[in-house]
Amino acid sequence: MVSHSSNNRGNFATRLGVILASAGSAVGLGNIWRFPTEVGNNGGAAFILVYFGFVLFLALPVMVCEFLMGRASRSNTVGAWKVLAPGSPLIVVGFLGILAGVLILSFYSVVAGWTLDYTVLSLTCQLMGEQDFAQVFQAFVSNPWKPLVTMLLFLLVTHWIVVRGVEHGIEKYSKLMMPLLLLIIVVLAVYAMSMPGAEAGLMFLLRPDFSKVTPGVVLSAMGQALFSLSVGLGCLTTYASYFNKETKLMSSALSVCLIDTLVAVMSGFIIFPAVFSVQGVGVDAGPGLVFITLPYVFNMAFSGMPLLGYLFSGLFYLLLILAALTSSISMHEISTAFLTDNYRMERRRAARIVTGACLLLGIACSLSFGPWKDYTLYGMTVFDWFDFVSAKFCMPIGAMFICIFVGWVMPHSEVRAQLTNWGTLPVRLYGIFRFLARWVAPLGVMIVFINELLA
């Protein structure tokens, strides 16, 4: 994916490589696990509409800004501020990104670990047949050590790829895996929509009830849009430092947004029809929602052909892990690139430090579903806090300052040159981008925060 050239900073080899790496970072558990969870907790269709608004008017312009800052500075998330805004206190935004990246990777690895366990359960035929899947899930996550083992495994694979495999591994298998995952999602969505009781789920997704839109719901939609598109913490700044001069920043960002939104919406169309056709599972079941409802879908879809059921569900969870991996390596890369660039640290050593930190924090997140579930602050466990601080605080703050910087502080000529590839691309969308980055995105974040504080 990244080919390292003589200047020791790599370049993506192809346009497809750029889109795949960025889409690989964007598409992950955020779409298939976090999106349905948030939709379920925040009332359905109205949340989705607000979410679309944030994708278009906030996350997309932030993505363009991150691409631009990364390619202009050829540096990591902290380095980019050093190069483009020397001596400015804005460097704090870079550090906030590092912090959020580590927090996210910690709880992300826990959920990816659950996925790993579900892959094994599927392939060993333990997820088929009459069972209470809510209980299966609860028993697994509250076990003190099993989820720790799967989390550790996931983190180690992430570590391994970051240290040595990025160039040759991910691009190759992403080309195969991403389309396969999409295909399976479409098949499952079509099936789920034909399950008994599915209409109620479709209504939940399609008929907005705006009375449910509270300031908290708006904050959640904003957090989800930023989380899902991996923006606000400089992850894509780091990736864009590997872009070459021909990369079209705006159209690449648009493609990534489209792919990511499509996957999120389709997973909604799998989960909610299924939720409503299964007794005893509520839409607000929380982080376990996907792990509880999907086994029911597999069971019903393949009740006549169990063997196919094992295979299909095993493949689904496997592909989900791979989607999670392409995201987790991008999160890991934020801090690893920072340590190697800024402290001239050897890549292997830098990666070890990052993995070690995520492991310790991940253990706390994992235990907060079991032995530590009663340790709460304002009703939230460690896991909830990590999610809250990163998606609803660090990412929006980062997104706001990134837009303010590119919209107001960076020389206009430089921004324009980057977005038009030095005058070789048409400028049609440039005016819209500038307006969004200068006004809509930063003001939007401020209003949401003020609204939430006053609520």
CB-wise, 227 or 269, nearer to ligand PFF? Answer: 227
Residue at shortest CB range from ligand PFF: 30
Least spacing, CB of residue 226 vs ligand PFF, in Å:
8
Give the nearest distance from C-beta 56 to ligand PFF in angstroms: 17
CB of 177 to ligand PFF, least distance (A): 15
Residue with smaller CB distance to ligand PFF, 59 or 419? 59
Residues contacting residue 428 through CB under 8 Å, at least 6 positions apart: none
Q: Which CB sits closer to ligand PFF, 148 or 233?
A: 233
- Shortest distance in whole angstroms from residue 248 CB to ligand PFF: 21
Q: Which run of H or of E encompasses 2?
A: strand 2-4
Contact 261, 272 (CB under 8 A): no
Cα gap 231→225, rounded to integer Å: 9
CA distances to 36, 49, 202, 228, 432 from 266, in Å: 10, 15, 12, 14, 28
For residues 156 and 356, give the distance between their C-alpha atoms in angstroms, rounded to a whole number.
10
DSSP letter at 210 equals G
Q: How far is the C-alpha of 234 from the C-alpha of 331, rounded, in Å?
A: 9
Minimum Å gap between C-beta 334 and ligand PFF is 6
47, 38 Cβ separation under 8 angstroms: yes
Query: Closer to ligand PFF at the Cβ: 52 or 372?
Result: 52
Q: Are 279 and 195 in contact (CB under 8 A)?
A: no
Is residue 249 within 8 A of residue 430, CB to CB? The reply is no
Nearer to ligand PFF, 198 or 331 (CB): 331
Beta-bridge partners for 380:
377
CB of 65 or CB of 104, closer to ligand PFF? 104
Q: Nearest approach, Cβ of 395 to ligand PFF (angstroms)? A: 8
d(CA 253, CA 243): 13
The one-letter amino acid code at 100 reads A
Nearer to ligand PFF, 21 or 195 (CB): 21
Provide the residue type at 428 as one letter: R
- Per the DSSP assignment, residues forming a β-bridge with 2 are 12
- What are 377's strand-pairing partners? 380
Interatomic CA distance for residues 300 and 294, integer angstroms:
10
* Alpha carbon distance 360, 355 (integer Å): 9
CB 113 within 8 A of CB 151: yes
CB 29 within 8 A of CB 287: no
Which residues contact ligand PFF by CB under 6 A?
25-26, 28-31, 101, 104, 227-228, 230, 233, 235, 327, 330-331
Task: Show Cβ contacts of residue 244 under 8 Å, excluding neighbours closer than 6 positions.
Answer: 11, 12
Closest approach of ligand PFF to the CB of residue 331, in Å? 4
Question: Is residue 255 within 8 Å of 427, Cβ to Cβ?
Answer: no
Q: What is the closest distance, in whole angstroms, from the C-beta atom of residue 357 to ligand PFF in the complex? A: 15
Other C-beta atoms closer than 10 Å to the C-beta of 128 total: 18
Nearer to ligand PFF, 309 or 398 (CB): 398
Nearer to ligand PFF, 75 or 327 (CB): 327
Closest approach of ligand PFF to the CB of residue 323, in Å:
7
Closer of 230 and 277 to ligand PFF (Cβ): 230
Nearer to ligand PFF, 195 or 231 (CB): 231
CB of 264 to ligand PFF, least distance (A): 8
- Minimum CB separation from ligand PFF for residue 238, in Å? 9
